[in-house]
Amino acid sequence: MSLRINFRLCSALLLLGFSMAACNFQQGTPNVLQESAQGWDPCASMPDLGFDLEGAASAPALISSEDSPTLGALGQEGAQALADQIQPQDTFCDAPLPAVFQPILENAKRLADQGDKAGARMLLDSLLELGSRPGGGYLLSVRLQTPGQSRSFIKGFLTAAGIDQSLGGDGQDFIDRANSTFSEMANAELNSASFDETMRLSEEAQLLGQDDIAQRTLERAQEIAAEGLDTAIEDFDPCLPDPQVLKDDITKLLVSLQTALLLGVPGTYGPGDARYDAAWSKAAAALKTLMGDTPDECKGFSFSFSRTVSGMVTMTGEAHTCGGIHSPWEGTLSLAGTWTDFGNTGSGSGSIAFTIPENSEEVETIIPTSGQIIGDCTMPYNDPLQLRVHIIGETELELGIVSTNAGTASAVCPDGTVTLPSIMTVWTEEPTFTVKLDHGAECP
């Protein structure tokens, strides 16, 4: 769904605002311009940002209760509340007037009230001259420092346009300067803008009738919302043991989906759309976890590791289970590098298999490992490794791997000489380390 941009309405609101600004100035009051700025609010009637409220209302939401949370529809009220939350704040309409504008605008208004239109216009024109001096001038160089300053200058130029209109002019030079200041700011900020800043630029572009920037802000907002939803889906863990944390994560995931749908992000419109189905599937699985009915995807665990030990040998391994921590695990171990005791490179591999008993948090097993070390002669070896596994909390295992000192090796030389097998230890260390348990092992 596209953002609907009602430029005629916005322009009319701006013109009405200029007139109100001119009428609200009161001669001789020190804070007259500030009062005028507060009285004129072009954002009092906000532009239609084209949110898909109907679509968002049908998006899934967590209907929470202590005993039995469920998934239901967000509803019209919830969709409107989300839209209100996304609606930008602190646009140029809310910005204070720049300090450098203040005396110029006050004096211009005072001269206008005294009937000195020429004097008033001369002061107003000085704002344009300052901004167009070679090298950018004071106003231009300052306003480029931050978006906040740019918005302040935009407000100042629009206020000047209102005074010019009260003098019988069209205020166009000041409106043009406000537009060019906004364009400069938006073009500098948009590519790296946050979601909130993008929405702010979107509303401001519509207020100024800059449809090209308004379209770009829509595309940027959709891009950010899509990336946020994809990340939320990828990172979501439906198997967390803490119920409150899991509820909070479900809510965050679904808000990402609702936001994407509100902005018209592809793949979010309902069942059958990839992003919608992925978010729904993760949330539904998490609800099962909350209700104590562990879904299949929460029964699968896996871990992997890579460590350099025993000289310059790298040990890598992985294992997984499909029935829970206390069900059978299987995986592989591989060795590669230089054995400093022999001064030669080599490799090896073995199969990991273990089961942690239900009434225990640890187990020991053997990893039959074999390989070869290559030098002047090739040295095939077998070295049974002892694996120790200990459960740490809900998310980690502690592993220890060491040689059983029951390995054997022989040497096969280029001339065909074969030495007799000898007992040896290829693996001499027990690097105790922790590995993270990941959900979602590839199980049948």
pLDDT by residue for the chain (444 residues), tens digit each?
Answer: 333 333 233 333 333 333 333 333 333 333 334 333 332 335 456 788 889 999 999 999 998 766 778 999 999 999 999 999 998 888 998 899 988 899 999 999 999 889 999 999 999 999 887 655 444 444 444 444 688 888 999 999 988 988 888 888 888 899 899 899 999 999 999 999 999 999 999 999 999 889 999 999 999 999 999 999 999 999 998 888 788 899 999 999 999 999 999 999 999 999 999 999 999 999 999 998 888 887 877 888 999 999 887 668 889 999 999 988 999 999 999 999 887 666 788 899 999 999 999 999 999 999 999 999 888 888 898 889 999 999 998 789 999 998 888 888 888 888 887 776 666 666 666 668 999 998 766 776
SS3 353: strand
Asked if residue 181 is part of any domain, the answer here is: yes
Q: Which of 404, 443, 444 is nearest to 426 (CA)?
A: 404
Q: What is the pLDDT of residue 342?
A: 66
pTM of the model: 0.67
Q: What is the pLDDT of residue 131?
A: 52
Question: What is the Cα–Cα distance from 274 to 226, expressed in whole angstroms?
Answer: 12
Identify the burial level of 360 via C-beta atoms within 10 angstroms of its C-beta, where 0-12 means exposed, 13-18 middle and 19 or more buried: exposed
The reply to whether 104 and 215 lie within a common domain is yes
What SS3 string covers 142-179?
A: HHCCCHHHHHHHHHHHHHHHHHHHHCCCCCHHHHHHHH
Identify the DSSP state of 240: -
Decide which of 197, 219, 241 is a domain's last residue: 219
Phi and psi angles of residue 203, each rounded to the nearest 5 degrees, phi first: -65, -40
Decide which of 193, 219, 245 is a domain's last residue: 219
Estimate to the nearest angstrom the gap between the alpha carbon of 77 and the chain centroid: 26
Identify the DSSP state of 416: S
Asked if residue 277 is part of any domain, the answer here is: no
Say what the alpha-carbon torsion angle 90, 91, 96, 97 is, to the nearest 10 degrees: 170
Asked if residue 415 is part of any domain, the answer here is: yes
Asked if residue 411 is part of any domain, the answer here is: yes
Contact at 8 Å (CB) between 152 and 182? no
Question: What is the Cα–Cα distance from 83 to 308, expressed in whole angstroms?
Answer: 53
The reply to whether 32 and 139 lie within a common domain is yes
Contact residues for 116 (Cβ-Cβ < 8 A; gap 6+): none
Contact at 8 Å (CB) between 79 and 58? no
The reply to whether 317 and 433 lie within a common domain is yes
The reply to whether 195 and 329 lie within a common domain is no
The reply to whether 40 and 142 lie within a common domain is yes
The residue behind tokens 């959900």 is 439
Asked if residue 60 is part of any domain, the answer here is: no
Q: What is the pLDDT of residue 239?
A: 84
Q: Which of 7, 194, 1 is nearest to 79 (CA)?
A: 1
Decide which of 191, 219, 247 is a domain's last residue: 219
Identify the burial level of 18 via C-beta atoms within 10 angstroms of its C-beta, where 0-12 means exposed, 13-18 middle and 19 or more buried: buried
The tokens of 111 are what? 């001269």
* Core vs surface per residue 37-48: b (16+ CB within 10 A) or e: beebebbeebbe
The tokens of 386 are what? 């002892």
Question: Which domain, by its residues, includes 174?
Answer: 7-49+87-219
The reply to whether 310 and 430 lie within a common domain is yes
The tokens of 162 are what? 């209102």
Q: What is the pLDDT of residue 432?
A: 84
Question: What is the Cα–Cα distance from 325 to 363, expressed in whole angstroms?
Answer: 12
The reply to whether 16 and 141 lie within a common domain is yes
Amino acid at 416: G
Asked if residue 24 is part of any domain, the answer here is: yes
The reply to whether 203 and 309 lie within a common domain is no
The reply to whether 98 and 208 lie within a common domain is yes
Number of domains in the chain: 2
The reply to whether 194 and 96 lie within a common domain is yes
When computed from its CA atoms, the radius of gyration of the chain, rounded to whole angstroms, is 35
Q: What is the pLDDT of residue 339?
A: 75
The reply to whether 41 and 177 lie within a common domain is yes
Question: What is the Cα–Cα distance from 40 to 125, expressed in whole angstroms?
Answer: 22
Asked if residue 149 is part of any domain, the answer here is: yes
Q: Which of 89, 87, 78 is nearest to 51 (CA)?
A: 87
Q: What is the pLDDT of residue 149?
A: 87
The reply to whether 163 and 32 lie within a common domain is yes
Q: Where are the alpha helices (DSSP H) in 74-210?
A: 75-86, 102-113, 117-131, 137-143, 147-166, 172-189, 195-207
Asked if residue 59 is part of any domain, the answer here is: no
